Amino acid sequence: MSLHRPKPALPSDDTRWKLVNATMRRNGYADHALIETLHSIQNAFGYLDETALRFVAAALDVPLSKVFGVATFYHLFRLKPKGRHTCVVCTGTACYIKGAGVLVDALRAHHQVEPGETTADGALSVLTARCVGACGLAPAAVVDGEVVGKLAPEALLARLDRLDAAPAPPGLPASSRPRAPA
């Protein structure tokens, strides 16, 4: 981690990389800046892709395996872009008994998306949770931060279709909103 080691070129001329670079420079390109740098990238771009991880490894002179290890160990880091909308299907016991699996199947069939993934058009991220605290409303899901319960698959799909026509609701974190491509 010599300060005189040549630094890799920025991955692109996207000005957000200058912010990332400033984080590393402020820390003297020391390897202890790894987590802060990854935070900086995620704040700027919304997620960490392979190009970003390789760049950080080269810039901080940290083994790529360590960068991947840190990026995948901490749940707050995401390696894929988040969709404009998020649907968390509860698969806890109460919801499972009441048909959570049918909801997941409907999302899979209608949106071609698996839990933990985002649709190809970036519109919808689907996640699952063990219990969202609304067992009395089972089967439940959280759509863009709002709990919806007693869901039939058709109702869930219709609700998601309506979201496509509307902007993300106010109050959502900036990371939930559409981003320019990295």
Residue 87 or 132: the one with the smaller Cβ distance to ligand FES is 132
Shortest-Cβ-distance residue relative to ligand FES: 92
Q: How far is the CB of 153 from ligand FES (least distance, A)?
A: 16
Q: How far is the CB of 106 from ligand FES (least distance, A)?
A: 17
Q: How far is the CB of 158 from ligand FES (least distance, A)?
A: 21
Q: How far is the CB of 138 from ligand FES (least distance, A)?
A: 5
Contact 80, 118 (CB under 8 A): yes
Burial class (CB in 10 A: 0-12, 13-18, 19+), 12: exposed
Beta strands (DSSP E) in 38-157 are 85-90, 117-118, 124-129, 141-143, 146-148
Question: What residues make contact with ligand FES under the rule CB under 6 A?
Answer: 90, 92-95, 131-135, 138, 140
Cis peptide before 81 (omega within 30 of 0): no
Residue 83 or 139: the one with the smaller Cβ distance to ligand FES is 139
Q: How far is the CB of 136 from ligand FES (least distance, A)?
A: 8
Residue 52 or 140: the one with the smaller Cβ distance to ligand FES is 140
> Distance between terminal CA atoms of the chain?
27
Residue 126 or 138: the one with the smaller Cβ distance to ligand FES is 138
User: Of 107, 118, 115, 114, which Cα lies nearest the Cα of 161?
Assistant: 107
Residue 71 or 138: the one with the smaller Cβ distance to ligand FES is 138
Q: Reading across the β-sheet that carries 146-148, which strands appear in turn?
A: 117-118, 124-129, 85-90, 141-143, 146-148
